[in-house]
Amino acid sequence: MSQSSYLEPVVDRLQTALEGKLFPSEWQQWGSRLLDHLRKPVQVAVLGQPGYGKSTLINMMLAQPVIPRVEGIPVIEVAHGPKTRTLFELEDGGCVRRSGLLTDQAVPEGTIRARLELEEDILLRQNFIEVGLTGTLSHQMSMVNWVVQWADIILWCTDSFDESEQKLWAGVPDDIKDHSFLVLTMADRQMMRGVLQERIAALEPIVAEEFLCLYPIATEQAITARSAGPKVNQQLWAQSGGKALLDGVLSQVESGRNADMDQAQMLLNRFAPNLPATPRAKPSMVAPAAPSAQAGDAKTGEEMLTEALQFLQDRANEMLATFSRQDMPESERILESCVSTAEELANMLHRIDPSELVVQDIVNDAQESAEMMLLFQLEKDEDAAVDAVTLLLQLKKEIARKAPVPAAGVGFGNGAANAGQ
């Protein structure tokens, strides 16, 4: 069964439930986010400075030379489409559409982004987006910050991952790092110089903290293995490192899809167990767009973290003052309070200016906590209540570490947790 046919019944049922407002209001937003995740392809960003083989790596994963050696296009996306065509986004906001591959096109002046659409099944599940890091360090950091707003998986292409690259990577949120790979391109050349194993050994402690895995790739050999004859040269494909990398990327794509689908199925089982799927037209896949903060809504990270800590303090006081009421089971009331607290906190922190990299991991943690709370609420037992309180306590500690003032007195300690027992 293909992945698309596996997902479609769940996606259709989820959309029908959302349109029919079958979920309680506090679950609608989560359901909408899940629907959005399931509908669009996973975004695989291929980052790196010039000369580190980003285009060649994408060509290797697609087993065809779809991205030529071109200069002056900061972002190149390869996505699925009903026919082969190339779209050029211009700096003045215009768009030029042409049939055929990017290799067949003269790049229009002022192009800031190219999107190549192909009729390839592998692109139904994920897009590949090449992003070059050029210019000043400040500009490169801005590009990395833009990428982490929409990327699900990052492949960082390099030959050494030097100190300047480590600085660029340091501000990436941990949840993105956990789904990203460091790729040592041109590994065959480093092996011929006798430095590959030494370089891998030097990078191992960094990779252990900063990436899911490291892959040394002899990219040209990998391309030869997949395209030199009617059949893949399996031995060369494995020896080049290409097979291991592609398998790793596809495994992460599948894992993320399954996690989203399991959560959607759990939501449907709880509130709409008998809802049939309603076949509908498939929505078109659109390119990821960098989110933009509204100037009037954005606050500094310090301001929002201080506000968040005060919010948690107030909620803790409310919980401690009311948990002895007997109008419903304590565990259920505590869970409801934790769910609303986490949801409001996530919405609050999303007002932080996205350019403040230092607090973006807190924003992401808050969003994940809000989603975890909804899973706890499905269980509705004492253990889930304790887990929910513990999660808020951990989140509070993370915020306190980066807040400009001490978080004295902020609760969610044993008093609230024990109320459910």
Q: Is pLDDT at 416 greater than 60 in this prediction?
A: no
Pick the CATH number of 42-253 from 3.40.50.300, 3.40.710.10, 3.40.47.10, 3.40.50.1980: 3.40.50.300
Lowest mean pLDDT among 103-112, 292-301, 369-378, 408-417: 408-417
**What average pLDDT does range 36-55 have in this prediction?**
91
Task: Return the pLDDT at 331.
Answer: 73
Which is more confident, 252 or 313? Answer: 252
Q: Which residue has the higher pLDDT, 152 or 397?
A: 152
Query: 23-27, 158-162, 340-344, 368-372: which range is least confident on average?
Result: 368-372
Residue 412 has pLDDT above 60, yes or no: no
**What does the pLDDT read at residue 192?**
87
Q: Spell out the domain ranges in the chain.
A: 42-253, 301-418
Mean predicted lDDT score pLDDT of the chain: 81
The count of residues in the chain is 421
